[in-house]
């Protein structure tokens, strides 16, 4: 990567990393505080699902706002709103209040993503693929780093929520001070999910189930780990290990899929992730290190499902159609993430802590069954027509424009229903 390409976006990457450290911290902090306050598992699932509902809504609410007031003002407003919400979590410890705050939090965060990602796309011409990879990796590392900050004051203290607010405020500074020229206005997605499903059913269902299992993880992993006997440090380590596993294994799994029927790779990954989730059933305070290892393996596998689903979709579409298709997958993934905490919370309410990994197992086996069916009834994409895998995480619809696979160029593939 040319140093100039990275230097031109260093302020954007730095600001976003600080913001995401705060976002990663607050998710775990809420789970631990809810556990301390005695919230029911289902109530926690409902609260956490509101964040992803806001995330989906923000994809449609935020673009008109950014167009109307500009990138800097919109970013400042969303960062300020996120900081205020972070403080209100600690001042109003109530499931109903938290549901509303998580909804607002989700809308604000996707707005922050949109501003930064549209700026990245406008700033980078050369080294686009490398910058995209650095951005995705930095996002996951920042989320993992935020876990350790939960231990500074502990989940029972208002100071912890104040620290989250500080991070959201500090993240604003590098971006507000940037001299980069504002990019073109952000557009609201216009999608036909039905047509997308008919074209690439494995990509759509893969993105949806990926959203359910990762949404359940972000929403209830802290509650599950605390229920298994881990202290606050153990909970933070468990979540950080799962995130780091997702960061480390995506690329090798993806590269493996570049030379095989990607549906089969998705099937194997889903089955192995189900086995890793099953391993969590017998682990807890008696084997905390083993639980961390199981979490890391589970994260490496489950976090790869979305990137594989996106690559599978790109394999089967023309380049000109892939942009909107990928935005559609992001929307499907967000809907799945909204449902995931609800399903896992209901399972934990009925079955106890074991309901968390068991719900993951059921969802992953359902996905595996669908993939096995599609492999039987449809042909694979020839290896020569496959695109390269690129590690991706769920951010905003604007991020797909950074994907190097969508760079202008000739592409003869036609949309089909293989």
Residue with tokens 């919400």: 85
pTM for this entry:
0.87
Do 253 and 347 fall within a single domain? yes
- Tokens linked to 75: 């970013």
Instruction: Look at residue 409 and tell me if it is in a domain.
Output: no
> Is there a domain that residue 208 lies in?
yes
Residue 77 has phi, psi (to 5 degrees) of: -65, -45
**Domain-embedded: residue 418:** no
Same domain, 20 and 81: yes
Joined together, the tokens standing for residue 192 give 């036909």
**Res 59: pLDDT:** 84
d(CA 302, CA 340): 13
| Alpha-carbon gap, residue 118 to 61, rounded angstroms | 16
In a domain, 400, yes or no: no
CA atoms within 13 A on the CB side of 275: 9
Residues 212, 151: one domain?
no
What is the CATH classification number for the domain harbouring 196?
1.20.1250.20
| pLDDT in 10s for each residue of the chain, 418 residues | 455 556 657 777 888 899 999 999 999 999 999 999 999 999 999 999 999 999 999 988 888 888 888 888 888 899 999 999 999 999 999 999 999 999 999 999 998 888 887 777 666 655 556 677 777 888 889 999 999 999 999 999 999 999 999 999 998 888 777 665 566 666 666 667 788 888 889 989 999 999 999 999 999 999 999 988 889 999 999 999 999 998 888 888 888 888 788 889 999 999 999 999 999 887 755 567 888 999 999 999 999 998 888 888 877 777 667 667 777 888 899 999 999 999 999 999 999 999 999 999 999 999 999 999 989 887 777 766 677 777 777 766 666 666 666 655 544 443 333 3
- Write out the residue range of the structural domain in which residue 252 sits: 191-395
pLDDT for residue 389 = 72
Tell me if 378 is assigned to some domain. yes
Number of independent structural domains in the chain: 2
**Does 174 lie in the same domain as 215?**
no
**416 within domain boundaries:** no
**Could you say which of 179, 206, 224 is where a domain stops?**
179
Q: Which of 179, 204, 235 is the last residue of a domain?
A: 179
**Do 316 and 223 reside in the same domain of the chain?**
yes
10 Å CB burial of residue 293 (0-12, 13-18, 19+) is middle
Residue 67's pLDDT is what?
A: 84
- Residue 393: per-residue pLDDT: 75
Q: Are residues 144 and 49 in the same domain?
A: yes
Question: Which residues have CB under 8 Å from 376's CB, separation 6+?
Answer: none
For 282, phi then psi, to 5°, come to -100, 10
Spatial neighbors of 97 by CB under 8 A, at least 6 apart, are 88
Q: How far apart are CA 113 and CA 146, in angstroms?
A: 17
The DSSP call for residue 287 is -
Residues 356 and 239 reside in one and the same domain: yes
Whether residues 138 and 200 fall in one domain: no
Residue with token string 């980069």: 180
**Which pLDDT belongs to residue 1?**
46
Specify whether 70 is located in the same domain as 159.
yes
In a domain, 412, yes or no: no
Question: Is the same domain home to 325 and 378?
Answer: yes
Asked if residue 133 is part of any domain, the answer here is yes
* Residue where one domain finishes, among candidates 179, 208, 241: 179
Are residue 71 and residue 28 in the same domain, yes or no?
yes
Token pair belonging to 341: 């905490």
Closest C-alpha to 141, from 61, 246, 294: 246
Domain match, 158 and 203 both? no
Q: Measured between alpha carbons, how far is 252 from 271 in angstroms, rounded to an integer?
A: 17
**Alpha-carbon torsion, ordered 253, 257, 259, 263, to 10 deg:** 150
């Amino acid at each position: 990567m040319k140093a100039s390409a990275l230097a031109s976006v260093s302020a954007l990457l730095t600001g976003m990393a600080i913001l995401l450290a705060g976002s990663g911290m607050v998710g775990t902090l809420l789970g631990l505080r809810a556990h301390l306050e005695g919230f029911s598992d289902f109530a926690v699932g409902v609260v956490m699902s509101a964040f992803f509902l806001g995330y989906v809504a923000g994809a449609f609410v935020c673009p008109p706002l950014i167009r109307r007031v500009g990138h800097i003002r919109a970013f400042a407003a969303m960062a300020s709103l996120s900081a205020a919400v972070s403080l209100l979590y600690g001042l109003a410890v109530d499931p109903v209040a938290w549901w509303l705050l998580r909804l607002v939090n989700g809308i604000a965060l996707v707005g922050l993503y949109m501003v930064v990602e549209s700026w990245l796309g406008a700033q980078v011409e050369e080294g686009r693929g490398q910058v995209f990879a650095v951005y995705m990796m930095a996002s996951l590392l920042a989320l993992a780093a935020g876990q350790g900050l939960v231990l500074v004051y502990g989940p029972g203290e208002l100071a912890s929520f104040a620290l989250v607010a500080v991070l959201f405020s500090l993240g604003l500074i590098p971006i507000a001070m940037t001299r980069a020229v504002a990019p073109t206005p952000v557009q609201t997605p216009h999608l036909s999910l039905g047509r997308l499903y008919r074209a690439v059913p494995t990509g759509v269902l893969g993105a949806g189930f990926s959203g359910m299992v990762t949404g359940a993880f972000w929403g209830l992993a802290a509650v599950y780990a605390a229920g298994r006997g881990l202290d606050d440090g153990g909970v933070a380590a468990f979540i950080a290990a799962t995130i780091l596993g997702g960061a480390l294994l995506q690329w090798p799994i993806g590269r493996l899929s570049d030379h095989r029927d990607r549906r089969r790779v998705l099937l194997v990954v889903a089955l192995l992730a189900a086995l890793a989730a099953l391993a969590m059933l017998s682990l807890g305070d008696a084997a905390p290190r083993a639980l961390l290892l199981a979490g890391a393996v589970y994260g490496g596998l489950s976090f790869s499902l979305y990137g594989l689903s996106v690559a599978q979709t790109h394999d089967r579409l023309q380049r000109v159609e892939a942009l909107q298709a990928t935005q559609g997958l992001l929307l499907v993934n967000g809907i799945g993430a909204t449902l995931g905490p609800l399903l896992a919370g209901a399972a934990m309410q009925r079955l106890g802590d074991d309901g968390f990994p068991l719900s993951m197992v059921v969802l992953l086996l359902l996905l595996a069954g669908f993939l096995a069916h599609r492999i039987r009834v449809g042909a694979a994409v020839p290896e020569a027509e496959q695109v390269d895998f690129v590690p991706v995480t769920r951010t905003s619809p604007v991020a797909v424009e950074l994907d190097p696979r969508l760079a202008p160029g000739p592409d003869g593939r036609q949309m089909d229903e293989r």
